Structure 1
Amino acid sequence: MLEVVDSHIHIWNLDVLNLPWLNSCEGVIKRSFSIDDVIKAYGPHDLNFLGGIYVEVDCDDAIKEDDYIFNLNSPKILAKVMRARHLCGHMRLPIGIVGVREPLHIDSSARGRCLETSFVEGLEVLAAQDLLFESCNRPDELEDMWKAASRVPEAKIVINHCGNVETLSEEYKRAMTKLAALPNVYCKVSGFPTSDPKFVKNLLDFISGTFEPNKLLYASNYPVVEQYATFDEHLRAVREYFEDNPDIFSKNAKKLYKLNKPQIFASVIKLRPEKAEYYKKLHADPFSGVNKMIRACGITKYQIFNRDDLLFSIMEYTGDDFEYDMTKMAEDPETQRWWKETDPCQTRIEGAYKHEWWADMDMVYDLNKKK
């Protein structure tokens, strides 16, 4: 059964929070929504809804919104993206979040905001703390977002709702193509009307052909989706197009939002002395795409050490299915080409099992292990 992590949900209680922007919305979403409402929306569908990523709702009191969401303690709220009133070097960052959003698409946000020095400094702070920035832009300012993201390439930026797409103009496609080419920019597949099947197909053809598969995330935008489509129509359209791809519907989100507990793997192999210099030369400048595939498979840290004729590796994996990800890596043509160069430089250690190339090592001590 398909597992679903919804990377973009909103909930609010209007008895607690004030959302001025709701005054301009149609009646269908001008009420309170709970996490139970989200669960009910997924109920009729043949899938396993694991939960969603809560994204701030532009409340007039961000601290009150923080208190409301954190006090819910719902296991279906898998991670939280809270409001940054103004990205800058000294912005407020609540503990326990995976990222922030400063809405750039609303009337109160000045045009060109993401090119301001304070905004770029805020991206640098988020990058240093390994926190995401959720980017909700006006379509005609996607080029500005690309310029800002280019200045801080280590910042992880998630483009909300396919860039709030309105038409597949050349300007839109050019800006999104530039964003997709950056190493740490992701895109949520949401935010588009479903009334025109041809538009939906053309949009998804463009998005899936521009962003790498590991950088696409299913999102519903519940309940705001009801303003331009319906929750059911959107879910069915994305499922049909992506054929229930587990990466799109859950695995990419699990990795990006750190929903899995990191696993540490250590292993050892012998280095052929006559190949040692060539092996080190290869790793000083890996083939294009090798590091990209490693990261796409949920490996966030990977180091190799050498002593005499031994190589030791330490790897941190944040995916939820190691065998699935390693199979994906093994099927990658660029990785296969890489292994054809590196494998002849190595040989199994004595005592390695038949199925092992790099032999696993067991941990015997951890300074930070809690008793």
Structure 2
Amino acid sequence: MSNSIGFDCVDSHFHIWDLQNFQYPWPTAAEAAIFKNFSPKDLQENLTKTPVRHAVFVQCLNGSPEEAKWVIQQAKDCPFIKGVVAGIDLTSPKLQEVLDEMQKLPLFKGVRHILDMEEADWITREDVHAGLKVLEGRGISYDLLLRPPLLKYIPGVVSKFPKLKFVVDHIAKPYVKDKKIDGWREEIAEIAKYPNVYCKLSGLVTEADWQSWKKEHFQPYIDHVLRCFGVDRCMFGSDWPVCTLANTDYKGTFDLVQDLLSSLSTDDKKKIFRQNAADFYRLDLTLN
């Protein structure tokens, strides 16, 4: 089914890591299935089973432009990597200097910080906002890795920086396993009112029961996100290899999102599976 979509797709969210080169806070040995090295070649092998031909790496390490440079170096032999979202410390006194260096690299496309490593209200801090202001001035996008308890802080942030493009990763990780939608539903709708905020249809399976999830478990959440953000501000992401924790593989993750969007027109699917990510991250989709 997945190869019948009719156009080459973009994966807006994948990871790779090297446990010998970097010290990662996650995964750990407790996540045995993914506690090993993953390379671009591993992903490339998975892409051949789907129409995905372009992909965006998203950071695993906070405050580590070195990780982003490592990925960019590997992209020379893996041209399907069309963009890199780097872990950069927004509160660093050297932020401008770091960004000057990163913006010389064409594949550098955005910034993210893993909020799980911080106090809940980190995103509201003035020093963080000073960093976001720098990103806004430079036209650099920011990925928001959120969980439901953090959603209440976001309208105040995204409204303060109307020219900064934000994207909510993993539809903000609602409590799919518990079939809980209240609270998340209202707060994600509030965030979607701001036209500078986009949403990744990613990270779904790991928020459900890893062994027994079904398409029907995700449909209410995806339908709600589509109603709130519209087809022009949603994009597909695999969250590979994290998705493999939930008894699936890359193709299964792609097929799930395609199934969840089966009622959409081809033009609308093309926006979600290709064009929106290309526009948001300013990707060059020259065929690999």
SS at match of 2:183: helix
1:90 offset after TM fit, Å? 5.2
Rounded to whole Å, the distance in 2 between the matches of 1:90 and 1:13 is: 26
| Structure 2 counterpart of 1:240, from 259, 271, 275 | 259
Q: Superposition pairs for residues 244-259 of structure 1, below 5 Å?
A: 245-259=269-283
Rounded to whole Å, the distance in 2 between the matches of 1:133 and 1:250 is: 19
Q: Superposition pairs for residues 1-371 of structure 1, below 5 Å?
A: 1-23=6-28, 25-45=30-50, 47=51, 49-58=52-61, 62-72=64-74, 73=76, 74-87=78-91, 91=95, 92-93=98-99, 94-95=102-103, 96=105, 97-104=108-115, 106=116, 108-167=117-176, 168-193=180-205, 195-230=213-248, 231-243=250-262, 245-260=269-284
Task: Give the letter aligned to residue 52 of structure 1.
Answer: A
- What do residues 6-31 of structure 1 show as CA deviations (whole Å, max 9, x unaligned)? 00011122232221322254111111
| Alpha-carbon spacing, 1:156–1:89, altered in 2? closer, same or farther (3 Å) | farther
Task: Give the letter aligned to residue 138 of structure 2.
Answer: Q
Rounded to whole Å, the distance in 2 between the matches of 1:252 and 1:54 is: 16
The answer for unaligned runs of 5 or more in structure 2 is 1-5
SS at match of 1:98: strand
Q: CA RMSD in A?
A: 2.1
| Alpha-carbon spacing, 1:260–1:86, altered in 2? closer, same or farther (3 Å) | closer
Rounded to whole Å, the distance in 1 between the matches of 2:65 and 2:186 is: 38
| Alpha-carbon spacing, 1:229–1:160, altered in 2? closer, same or farther (3 Å) | farther
| Alpha-carbon spacing, 1:147–1:90, altered in 2? closer, same or farther (3 Å) | farther
SS at match of 2:11: strand
SS at match of 1:151: coil
TM-score, normalization by structure 1: 0.65
May I ask how many residue pairs the two structures share in their alignment?
A: 257
1:135 offset after TM fit, Å? 0.6
TM-score, normalization by structure 2: 0.82
Rounded to whole Å, the distance in 2 between the matches of 1:156 and 1:229 is: 33
Rounded to whole Å, the distance in 2 between the matches of 1:63 and 1:156 is: 20
1:128 offset after TM fit, Å? 0.8
Rounded to whole Å, the distance in 2 between the matches of 1:159 and 1:258 is: 17
Task: Give the letter aligned to residue 8 of structure 1.
Answer: H
Task: Give the letter aligned to residue 203 of structure 2.
Answer: G
Contact kept? 2:49, 2:251, Cα under 8 Å: no
- What do residues 158-188 of structure 1 show as CA deviations (whole Å, max 9, x unaligned)? 1000012224432111111111110110000
Q: Which moved more, 1:125-134 or 1:142-151?
A: 142-151
1:247 offset after TM fit, Å? 0.8
Specify which structure has the bigger relative contact order, considering alpha-carbon pairs within 8 angstroms and separated by 6 or more residues. Answer: 2
1:66 offset after TM fit, Å? 3.1
Q: Which moved more, 1:165-174 or 1:113-122?
A: 165-174
SS at match of 1:213: coil
1:202 offset after TM fit, Å? 1.0
| Alpha-carbon spacing, 1:26–1:171, altered in 2? closer, same or farther (3 Å) | same
SS at match of 2:159: helix
Following TM superposition, the consecutive aligned residue runs of length 4 or more in structure 1 with deviations greater than 6 angstroms are none
* Larger proportion of strand: 1
SS at match of 2:38: coil
1:63 offset after TM fit, Å? 4.1
Contact kept? 2:65, 2:86, Cα under 8 Å: no
The answer for unaligned runs of 5 or more in structure 1 is 262-319, 321-371
Who wins on radius of gyration, i.e. which is larger?
1
Contact kept? 2:111, 2:142, Cα under 8 Å: yes
Rounded to whole Å, the distance in 1 between the matches of 2:14 and 2:181 is: 28
| Alpha-carbon spacing, 1:214–1:88, altered in 2? closer, same or farther (3 Å) | farther
1:125 offset after TM fit, Å? 1.0
> Percent identical across equivalent pairs?
23
Which residue does 2:3 correspond to in 1?
A: none
Q: Which moved more, 1:196-205 or 1:210-219?
A: 196-205
Rounded to whole Å, the distance in 2 between the matches of 1:98 and 1:43 is: 24
